[in-house]
Amino acid sequence: MQNVVNTEQEQAWNGDEGAHWARHQERWDAVNEGFDEPLLAAAAILADDTVLDIGCGAGATTRLAARCAPGGRATGLDLSAPMLERARASARAENLGNVDFERGDAQVHPLEGRAFDVAISRFGVMFFADPVAAFANIRAGLRPGGRAAFVVAAAAEDNEWLQALARLRGLLPLGGFGVTGGPGMFSLADPGRVHEVLAGAGFGGVAVERVEADGRWGSDAEDATAFLMGSGPGRHLLAQVDEATGQRARRELVDVLRAYERDGAVRMRSTAWLVTGVHP
């Protein structure tokens, strides 16, 4: 890989966080796939378009974009080697010839002048130390008139899975949950900040629209608890308490998640901002 400036993110997504996402990719897709339809509708990919998928992870949206552009190409860009390995394997398994993947830091990866028609991202653009520089680099990768469509997480209060975790506040150190600002899940949770960052990066016609989707977190409350507690946020919280408290927190989360069991699954509603813009 060439330059990396987001070194902490690089370590996380090539460490425990990336390993969890790579191992549980089907589950993460089941959690997030409700956002694919609004994302692709906003991206309006044409049959011959070239598409850049930022923070593509295991490549679910890259493969969808490739199917929208049978005469074009979809390129996934991500920091995470284990997730890209899954991405390449899935593209091969689906016999998709018009997909490729690059490993790199979207903030500094050489994108300028590559003239993509469209840039997309499903929750892959919230982790930049310098978001204005990163989005300027992404914009420079588009042709003039090229479009961008990204989904980014809304605040913790608007996401049922985070509210479920927040119910464990008496047991786990949940302070700071939902803080916006630095790189991380909530860095673009404030639409005002999104406008500021994208305008600063040179995008025109920026629009931010609220979108909601139900995610499938597990087959039942026990299964969803095991998944959530094994995820990055879950592990981070458990690492700060003793074993007995951790076990109590798990049991409590099972009780909380019972309320979301419906039709053979735990389904929780997530909220995101659908962000669109144009490279003038």
Ligand X SMILES: C[S@@+](CC[C@H](N)C(=O)[O-])C[C@H]1O[C@@H](n2cnc3c(N)ncnc32)[C@H](O)[C@@H]1O
In the complex, the residues that contact ligand X under the rule CB under 6 A are 6, 9, 13, 28, 32, 55-58, 60-61, 77-80, 83, 105-107, 122-124, 127-128
31 CB neighbour count, 10 Å cutoff? 25
Residue 127 or 246: the one with the smaller Cβ distance to ligand X is: 127
Nearest distance from C-beta of residue 100 to ligand X, angstroms: 15
Name residue, tokens 């690492």.
239
Q: Which amino acid is at 187?
A: S
Nearest distance from C-beta of residue 229 to ligand X, angstroms: 18
Residue 135 or 260: the one with the smaller Cβ distance to ligand X is: 135
Secondary structure class of 246 (helix, strand, coil) = helix
Residue 128 or 135: the one with the smaller Cβ distance to ligand X is: 128
First-to-final CA distance of the chain: 30
141 CB neighbour count, 10 Å cutoff? 24
Query: Which residues are CB-neighbours of 242 under 8 A, at least 6 positions away?
Result: none
Nearest distance from C-beta of residue 209 to ligand X, angstroms: 18
Residue 152 or 224: the one with the smaller Cβ distance to ligand X is: 152
Q: With 0-12 CB in 10 A as exposed, 13-18 as middle and 19+ as buried, what is 8?
A: exposed
Nearest distance from C-beta of residue 108 to ligand X, angstroms: 8
Nearest distance from C-beta of residue 259 to ligand X, angstroms: 25
Q: Is 261 in contact with 220 (CB distance < 8 Å)? A: yes
105 CB neighbour count, 10 Å cutoff? 23
Residue 105 or 221: the one with the smaller Cβ distance to ligand X is: 105
